[in-house]
Chains A and B, each alone.
Chain A
Amino acid sequence: MKQNNKKTSRSGTLPVYIVLTLASILSLFPFYWMFVMATQPSAAYNSIPPTLLPGGMLIENFQKVLDTIPFFQAMWNTVLLCTTVTVAVLIISSLSGFAFAKFHFPGKNFLFICILLTMVIPPQLGLIPQYYLISQLGWLDTLLGAGVLFLLNPLGIFLMRQYISQSVPDELMEAAKLDGCSNFRIYRSIVLPIIKPAFATLGIIVFTLVWGEFLWQFTVLRDPSSYTLQVALASLNNAFRVDFGMLLSGVFWATVPLIVIFLIFNKWFISSITEGSIK
Chain B
Amino acid sequence: MENTQTQQRVSSAKVSKMSEKKKDMISGYLYVAPFFIVFGIIGLYPAIFSIVLAFQKWNGLGEMDYVGFSNFAIVLQDPLFWKSLYNTVIIGLMGTAPQLIVGIILAYFLNMAVIRFTNFFRVTIFMPYITSMVAVALVFGVFFSTNESALANYVIGWFGIDPISWKTSEWGAKIAISLMVFWRWVGYNTIIYLAGLQSIPKDLYEAATIDGANKVQQFLHITIPLLKPFIILTVFMSTVGALQLFAEPTVFLGASAFNRDEAMTVVMYLYRDAFNLGSFGTASATAVLLLIIIIAAAALNTWLTSGVGNKKKRGVK
- Residue positions of A touching B, CB distance < 8 A: 6, 9-10, 13, 16-17, 19-21, 23-24, 26-28, 30-31, 33-34, 37, 45-50, 91-93, 95-96, 98-100, 103-106, 108, 111, 114-115, 118, 120-133, 148-149, 151-152, 157, 177, 183-184, 187, 208, 211-212, 214-215, 218-219, 229-230, 233-234, 236-240, 242, 244, 247-248, 250-251, 254-255, 258-259, 262-263, 266, 269-270, 273-274, 277-278
* Residue in B42, B142, B188 whose beta carbon sits within 8 Å of that of A248 in the complex: B142
**Which chain B residues numbered 130 to 176 have a C-beta less than 8 Å away from chain A?**
130-136, 138-143, 145, 147, 149, 151, 154
A232 CB, nearest partner CB in chain B, Å: 9
Closest to B266 in A: A124
Given contacts A33-B139, A230-B247, A273-B192, 5 further A-B contacts (CB under 8 A): A10-B114, A27-B127, A131-B275, A212-B131, A233-B134
Chain B residues closer than 8 Å to A263, beta-carbon distance? 123
Residues of B with Cβ closer than 8 Å to A?
A: 20-21, 23-25, 27-32, 34-36, 38-39, 41-43, 45-47, 49-50, 53, 60, 105-106, 109-110, 112, 114-115, 120-136, 138-143, 145, 147, 149, 151, 154, 183, 187-188, 191-192, 195, 230, 233, 237, 240, 243-244, 246-247, 250-251, 254-255, 267, 270-271, 274-275, 280, 283-284, 287-288, 290-291, 294-295, 298
Question: What are 11 pairs between A and B in contact, CB < 8 Å?
Answer: A6-B114, A45-B147, A93-B35, A95-B32, A99-B30, A118-B43, A126-B43, A212-B134, A214-B132, A237-B138, A242-B254
- Residues from chain A with a CB closer than 8 A to the CB of B147 are 45-46
Which A residue's beta carbon lies closest to that of B35? Answer: A96
Q: Are B31 and A45 in contact (CB under 8 A)?
A: no
A118 & B39 in contact (Cβ 8 Å cutoff): yes
**Known contacts A13-B115, A125-B47: does B251 contact A270 (CB below 8 Å)?**
no
The A interface is mostly helix, strand or loop, or mixed, namely helix
| Complex contact A30–B183 (CB within 8 A) | yes
A183 to B31, CA, bound (A): 10
B29 contact from A34, A105, A273, Cβ within 8 A: A105
